[in-house]
Chain A
Amino acid sequence: MKRAGFTTVSLPVFLLLPQLVIIAVFFYWPTVVALQSSFYLQDPFGFGSTFVGLQNYADLFTSREYHRIASFTVVFSVLVTFFSLAIALLLAVKADKILRGAKTYRTLLMWVYAVAPPVAGFIAVIMFNQSWGPLTQFFGMFNYTYLVGVNFNDTAFAMVLASVWKQVPVNFIFFLSGLQSIPRSVREAALIDNASAMGRFWDVTFPLLAPTGFFLLIINITYSLFDTFGIVDTVVKGEPGNNPMTLVYKVYVDGFRGNDLGGSSAQSVILMVLVLALTIFQFRLIDRRIHYT
């Protein structure tokens, strides 16, 4: 709040009203409903529901399928996060270094930000087409028969590849802007103190980029958990079957297709707790970020 804020009372209430109404109806209400129905078991034919306490949660924790999906989600998130951060960092460091064509490279490397995840999934489907997909043919050269939608690992790799492709640009933009905000004087001091470019990178540049990196870490985990829905859905062509899927996809499949509202809601709540933990962790990091800059 500003020191000399306006003292009118009715106007700010009026200004806040649209926002408050929308979040009440479309945020708080659904959130409460999710919490509530996670304690109920819905009749599959729509004839009411019964209170079952923590049964939905207990079912999940003992379900082998849920464990499998949770483990896959973890592996998937780690892979996507690691590769999209690593590739983006490499590209950003190079783009920051060169003088000629820097703007062109920046444009070429960032535009994929605007591509919708399902389109990335669609491209993966084509790339891995069983009879003529370029990447299927590439693997064929090593006598490997690549089978998206049939072989679990093959499908998972296609998902990871598409997710990384889609996420590199965001990380690239943040890393590049982080690099460019390192003061010239610091770089010059490092140049005098350390002759090796590699040494300068690990001793000076990398620690100064750490706050950006921490922040991106959270962003990327959130991305792998939620925003990859479109990629997963297109790569499995809407047919989950025995294919790999993420936790969010499971919420959708159980709740929307399987009509298991209670179980799906319990899964939602588990995800909420997960995201809350991540966000709180992120806010604490933001404090740290301010210290650095």
Chain B
Amino acid sequence: MSLSKMRKLKLSMIVDHGVLILGSLFMILPLVMLLQMTTIPDTEIIKTGPTLKIGDQFDDNLYKAMFEASGFAGENSGLSMLKNSLILGIGFAVGKILIGMLAAYAIVYFRLRFATLAFWLIFTTLLLPLEVRILPSYEVVQWLGMLNTYQGLIIPLIASATATFFFRQFFRSVPEELVEAARIDGAGPVKFFIDILMPLSKTMIAAMFIIMFVYGWNQYLWPTMITTDEDMYTLVRGIKQIVQVLEGAVVPEYGRSNVLALVAVIPPVLVVVFFQSWFVKGLTESDK
């Protein structure tokens, strides 16, 4: 290889890494800024804003954010919001996967006369997101007396067939012969589901769980409408209140607010980062 060509190659490598490093900084700096602001006193923030200085206020702010109640009723400490977020994230993911898997199993593995009808009834829900029918959904939940309940929070979000669609795709890719072999081996529908299909779907279930957990955890509009009791607030729902409280305060509590924002971000980020390969596989395969 000639010297000039090598130099060119090296230059292009520097450009590649440069672009990627810039991109990474674009992604990560905002969060670093939030974190920095939690370490310095609020009185300093309103003078200088975020700086490069690292102070010692983080522990205090973390304590305040997690254990001291805020809001008007004084019922939404960070800890209680964290609990609600977990319930929403996990409840939504589990409910959606369970219901979706069973429905997909029925559609794919049974000779059912009205299977096509059921299929269309279910998959039409993919066409319209919750946001376009948000008010009537609110009315229905109100009518059912489910405002400010976990059921009211979770179940209407489940009324879309993404998981069902995903599992249907996956089940269809499972070799035909497996169910035939199982039938000859004397396994009925329940046994086949538990002995063969569930273990085969393990990775898919995990991938779905991650995606759905993040989706549920990050819900904003629906919880904003459906929960008015402060002890039902989730962390993400709480952001709205934070913004409003910051706006009106003389010395806004940026330290404490930023901790709450970080707590709202960290669990789903950790899940996504740790189970990256499952998550990426699930995401890119489910949307096809």
Contact = CB atoms under 8 A, between A and B. Distances in A.
Taking the complex as a whole, does A directly touch B, i.e. does some CB pair lie under 8 Å apart? Answer: yes
Interface stretch (B68-76, B110-118, B200-208): B110-118
Contact of B221 (A2, A11, A133, A229): A229
Contact of A18 (B12, B102, B221): B102
Interface in B1-43: 12-13, 16-17, 19-20, 23-24, 26-28, 30-31, 33-34, 37
Nearest to B139: A33
B93 interface: no
A78 interface: no
Contacts of A112: 27
Nearest to B178: A2
Contact of A237 (B17, B19, B156, B243): B243
Interface stretch (A54-62, A90-98, A186-194): A90-98
A182 interface: no
A265 B164 CA distance: 28
A174 B37 CA distance: 33
B183 to A, nearest CB: 7
B261 interface: yes
Bin chain B's interface residue count. 35 or more
Interface residues of A, number: 97
Contacts of A272: 128, 132-133
B265 A238 contact: no
A238 B50 contact: no
B95 to A, nearest CB: 9
B272 A238 contact: no
A117 interface: yes
Given A30-B133, A177-B284, A4 B140 contact: no
A33 B133 CA distance: 9
B268 to A, nearest CB: 4
A141 interface: no
A124 to B, nearest CB: 9
A245 B283 CA distance: 30
A15 B105 contact: yes
B134 A129 contact: no
Given A272-B128, A276-B128, A98 B136 contact: no
Interface stretch (A64-72, A101-109, A151-159): A101-109
A104 to B, nearest CB: 9
Contacts of B140: 25-26, 29-30, 33
B217 interface: yes
B100 interface: yes
A260 B9 CA distance: 63
Nearest to A120: B30
Contacts of B136: 29-31, 33-34, 37, 265, 268
Interface of B: 12-13, 16-17, 19-20, 23-24, 26-28, 30-31, 33-34, 37, 45-50, 99-100, 102-103, 105-112, 115, 118, 121-122, 125-129, 131-140, 144, 155-156, 158-161, 164, 176, 179-180, 183, 188-190, 192, 214, 217-218, 220-221, 224-225, 236, 239-240, 242-244, 247, 254, 258, 261, 264-265, 268-269, 271-273, 276, 280, 283-284, 287-288
14 contacts: A11-B106, A13-B106, A15-B105, A23-B125, A27-B128, A34-B135, A107-B273, A112-B27, A114-B218, A119-B236, A123-B31, A170-B283, A234-B239, A268-B136
Given A94-B20, A261-B135, 20 more contacts: A1-B108, A4-B176, A6-B109, A12-B110, A23-B161, A30-B133, A87-B23, A94-B19, A101-B17, A108-B28, A114-B265, A118-B239, A122-B261, A123-B261, A126-B258, A137-B49, A197-B12, A237-B244, A248-B131, A268-B132
